[in-house]
Every structure is written in structure tokens, then in C-alpha cells.
Amino acid sequence: MAVSSKPESEAPSDVRIPKALTEKLVRGELQLGQFLGMTRERLFDYAGMGHSMLQAGRTRLALEIFQGLVTAAPREPAFLTQLGATYLTLERTDEAFDAFQRALAVERSNVDALVGRGELLLRRGNIPDGLKDLSRAIELDPRLQKRSTQRARSTLLALKSQAEQIKGRPASSQKK
């Protein structure tokens, strides 16, 4: 058995990547997952696992999965939105906001990202923009088929009820 004098890191590769493919990756015309030959179906299978981990309370593992998916497919709004939801679960609100923003930059009508960003805007005290995001999400899903839009509607109804209660109070009790 012959032993190679080359270090393992310099061992010749059996895989030859076409230069055109590499150039597309560098120019941003190809996402890393595509470059590595990962199908969209496979990436979404991983996303399903990440979602299951998040639902099961295995948030750190879900975070690793979604970070990897965003690295593999940085322009996939579903992965960015799930990453945002995971950050939100971890109370990493700035990172969650950034992930929702990035998802909306790719797909302005992403209902889940609108609700996530809207909720964060409300938390930050930016009521007008938060209400706009939540309202827009409901406009896009008027039948409330998504849990996020159901949550948005509940939030809007609660805020409306609070506003009506405040309006109904005598002026002296509103100053408190």
C-alpha cells in the first residue's frame, strides 16, 4: 500500500465543478444549495424538520437548521421567515426583525413575515406600522387560513377593544 506524500487537504478531488457554475455562484445568479446540487424539495424537507423541532421546543436545533437553509438558499422567503420565528422564540428580537425584513424584501406579500414584523413593530412601540403590517396580512389572507393571520386578527381585535375602553373612560381616569 502506497502512502501519499500530499497532505489530505491537498488530495486531488474527483469532483470537477464547471467554471461557469462557479461563476454563477459568485455573481449571485445561483444559490449555494443549487450549487451543491440540493433540490428545492430536499431543502423544504429540511425546513419541515426544522419546523417540527421548533414546535417540539428544540429551538436551538431548529435555529441551526434554519440558519443552514438560509445559507443554502438566501432568497427563499419561507426559510427567512422560519428563521425569524425561531429567533423570536429565543427572544432575539433584532435578529428576528432582520429575518422578517429580508423575507419581505424577497416577497412583499409574505403573510407570515408581515405578521412577525408587525408584532415586533408593535412591541417596539411603532403602532402605525405594526397595524399596517397586520392589516395587510389579513388583506392577503382574508379567510384567515394561516395561523399567523388568525393571530394578527386577534391582536387587532384586542387593540381595538383596548382603544374603545380607553375612549369610554372619563377624562380624569385617562390621565393616569
Confidence band (pLDDT; 50, 70, 90) for 7?
very low
The CA distance from 26 to 173, in Å, is 62
Confidence band (pLDDT; 50, 70, 90) for 8?
very low
Q: How many CA atoms lie within 13 A of 71 on its CB side?
A: 8
Show the domains of the chain with their CATH numbers. 34-107 (1.25.40.10), 112-165 (no CATH)
Closest to 78 (Cα-Cα) out of 54, 39, 104:
104
Round the average pLDDT of the chain to a whole number and report it. Answer: 84
pLDDT at 11: 42
Site of grid cell 457554475: 21
Q: Angle at Cα 79 formed by Cα 145 and Cα 100, nearest 5°?
A: 75
